[in-house]
Amino acid sequence: MSIQPRKQRKRLYEAPLHKRQKMMTVNLSKNLRKKFKKRNIPLRKGDKVEILRGEFKGMKSLINKVNLKKLMVTLEDVKRSKTDGTEIRVSIHPTNLRLIEPDMTDRKRQKIVKRVEGEFEVKKPKVEKKEKKEEKKKAGFSCPICGKGFDNKMDLNVHREKEHKDFMER
């Protein structure tokens, strides 16, 4: 590794996405460190963070957007007014933030915490996806003889030929 600032900036700008994701980690608050037994964790949309440095120091807000390309985070309540009067959201670097309340509905994040045997509680389970999958199963093709469900008609025809030959001959 070089210590030259120009090479450091170049590596930062040219970093691939999997390394940029590592750069988007943020320190945890003291009570979360004890709870999760970790020092930092990657940021996600929906996390509640506290701003540690800058113009908005001390504010607490939810993450609205995580931009991996710019390595910046946009918060919901942090806005600046332009000269024409319109308000825009201010982007903040993750090193200036501290995680207060994580969104634990993400399974990958739950695995990260479980890996070090920390405690966590799931706030709101995602039920919508399960309902959509059940609707797809109902919308598929079912065998009129045995009632078994299939995703497409070709699979249904193959099943009927193999399993119900004697019914097909009639």
Residue 25 lies in a domain: yes
Give the lowest-confidence range in 109-113, 133-137, 154-158: 133-137
Range of the domain at 149: 128-168
Q: What is the DSSP string of 100-131?
A: EE--TT-HHHHHHHHHTT------S---HHHH
Cβ–Cβ contacts within 10 Å for residue 104, how many?
A: 18
Q: What is the pLDDT of residues 42-61, one digit of tens each?
A: 999 999 999 999 999 999 99
Residue 123 lies in a domain: no
Question: For residue 100, what pLDDT is reported?
Answer: 95
Residue 11 lies in a domain: yes
147/111 same-domain check: no
Question: For residue 135, what pLDDT is reported?
Answer: 57
17/56 same-domain check: yes
Any residues with CB less than 8 A from the CB of 125 and at least 6 apart, and which? Answer: 105
107/147 same-domain check: no
102/151 same-domain check: no
Residue 15 lies in a domain: yes
Give me the mean pLDDT over the 73-93 stretch: 94
Give me the mean pLDDT over the 10-31 stretch: 92
123, pLDDT greater than 80: no
134/56 same-domain check: no
87, pLDDT greater than 90: yes
Residue 121 lies in a domain: no
* Boundary-marking domain end, from 115, 137, 158: 115
> Apex CA 131: angle with CA 126 and CA 137, to 5°?
140
Question: For residue 96, what pLDDT is reported?
Answer: 96
**Token digits of residue 9:** 């900036």
Question: For residue 106, what pLDDT is reported?
Answer: 84
111/134 same-domain check: no
Burial grade of 36 (CB within 10 A; 0-12, 13-18, 19 or more): buried
Question: For residue 152, what pLDDT is reported?
Answer: 85
Q: What is the pLDDT of residues 58-71, one digit of tens each?
A: 999 999 999 999 99
> What's the DSSP call for residue 39?
S
98/133 same-domain check: no
14, pLDDT greater than 60: yes
Q: In the chain, where does DSSP find H-type helix?
A: 5-13, 17-23, 30-36, 107-115, 128-139, 153-163, 165-168
Q: What is the pLDDT of residues 26-41, one digit of tens each?
A: 999 999 999 888 899 9
Residue 120 lies in a domain: no
Cβ–Cβ contacts within 10 Å for residue 15, how many?
A: 15
103/143 same-domain check: no
91/139 same-domain check: no
Question: For residue 133, what pLDDT is reported?
Answer: 57
Cβ–Cβ contacts within 10 Å for residue 75, how many?
A: 23
141, pLDDT greater than 70: yes
92/146 same-domain check: no
Q: Could you tell me the CATH number of the domain that includes residue 98?
A: 2.30.30.30
